Amino acid sequence: MAQKSLIDRIFGSRPHAEPDEYLELDLGEYEEIVEEEPAGTYVKVAELINVSSLTSLKDEVYKGNIVIIDIAHIKQDRVTLDRVVKELRQVATDIHGDIAGLGEDQIVVTPMSIKIDRKKLGASAY
């Protein structure tokens, strides 16, 4: 990784990370995890390259995890995007979770009892 992002430099990348392991949405690694406790819920970050991986993302939400999905790769294909949004909405409906778009390229899907607040903190309205 010739040019490390600022976030990477602050949070620290894993020394042996594969350069292409994280594509465009580069996850800044944070090595100093407080404690390795088993978590009931995970925030999972996903990059949707094609529809074939949609099932695994839906499974994550069904398992009770929050998924932040980068749709930059598929959003140009309107048919694919519509299908993805429709299926994710169905998951949110099924499990009484929530779904919202975040910025231009992300969709957040949450499991039961976790809702997405539409009121943005720190913006002009705050």
Near its own copies in 90-119, by CB under 8 A: 92-93, 96-105, 107-108, 110, 113-118
Exactly one of 1, 23, 63, 77 binds its own copies (CB under 8 A); which one? Answer: 23
55 binds its own copies (CB under 8 A): no
- Closest contact distance (angstroms) between CB of 1 and its own copies is 13
Rounded-to-integer distance, Cα 3 and Cα 39, Å: 33
Q: Which is nearer to its own copies, 1 or 89 (CB)?
A: 89
**Binding residues with its own copies: total (CB under 8 A):** 75
Binder of its own copies out of 3, 15, 16, 122 (CB under 8 A): 122
Q: Which value, to the nearest 10 degrees, does the dihedral of the CA atoms of residues 77, 25, 17, 44 take?
A: -90
Tokens of 76: 């140009």
Q: Reduced to 3 states, what is the DSSP secondary structure of residue 120?
A: coil
How far apart (Å, rounded) are the C-alpha atoms in residues 81 and 83?
5
Report d(CA 10, CA 27) in Å as an integer. Answer: 12
| 40: contact with its own copies by CB under 8 A | yes
Given candidates 1, 4, 33, 62, which one binds its own copies under the rule CB under 8 A? 33
Beta bridge partners of 110: 98
